[in-house]
Amino acid sequence: MNVFYNYIAYINDKPIYVGKGKDKRYTHCYKKFPNCIVRIYNENSSEKEAFSWEINKIEEIGLENLSNKVPGGFGVDTISNNPNKHDICKRISETVKMLHKKGVYPPKYWVNGVKGMSSKESIRKRIEAQRGIKKYIKNKEEWRKKISESLKGEKHPMFGKKSWNSGKKMHIKNLELANKRKSEAAKNRKKFKCPHCFSCKAYDAGNLTKHIKAYHTDKP
């Protein structure tokens, strides 16, 4: 399906990120680079065409001049449970071979990369990155029931154990101090103005992304 496009994030008219996506994929740039302007290119393309455009554009600008981590062609998506796993792996294999022929990667890049991905630190970071992400579940009630059954009685990891804060109560003084610190941290966050509506109101990075998604998703 030709639903893909490419996008480039600019700061002061200088490209800082080249990407490929569909729907509202480009909006992640506003959180990563709050003062950026995102421009859409190569609309209504197939995924293969969008990948090819991304690779060529990153090569043209130079990976060292961008915040991209890889020279395009594939991202860091998990493909283990993807129904199109075979096609995706084949596409990645073809892309890697092509990039190696162009001399984009140093000789031992992938050897070190694979070792790095399997290290305990890398696994920990990937788990941390997945926390808090909402996932689509077809039958939530059945899923919840299975989780509940798997944690009943002796199956629960805390069965027969006491929690570290058992019997302890948080003092009101500490609670007030914690709330005060949170309030001060929120006030001291760096604020940015919307690059689309130029309103007087300023937002922190997270709220700026929400504002743009809510009011400017039809604007590149």
Predicted confidence (pLDDT) per residue in 83-100, tens digit: 566 775 676 677 667 666
Predicted local distance difference test score (pLDDT) of residue 139: 75
What is the sign of the dihedral through the CA atoms of 118, 120, 125 and 126?
positive
Q: Is 153 left (phi over 0), alpha (psi -120 to 50) or beta?
A: left
Predicted confidence (pLDDT) per residue in 194-205, tens digit: 878 766 778 888
pLDDT at 21 over 80: yes
One-letter amino acid for residue 53 of the chain: W
Predicted local distance difference test score (pLDDT) of residue 78: 44
Question: Counting Cβ atoms within 10 Å, is residue 26 exposed (0-12), middle (13-18) or buried (19+)?
Answer: buried
For residue 115, what pLDDT band results from cuts at 50, 70 and 90? low
Joined together, the tokens standing for residue 189 give 């966050």
pTM of the model: 0.38
**CA atoms of 13 and 195, how far apart (whole Å):** 13
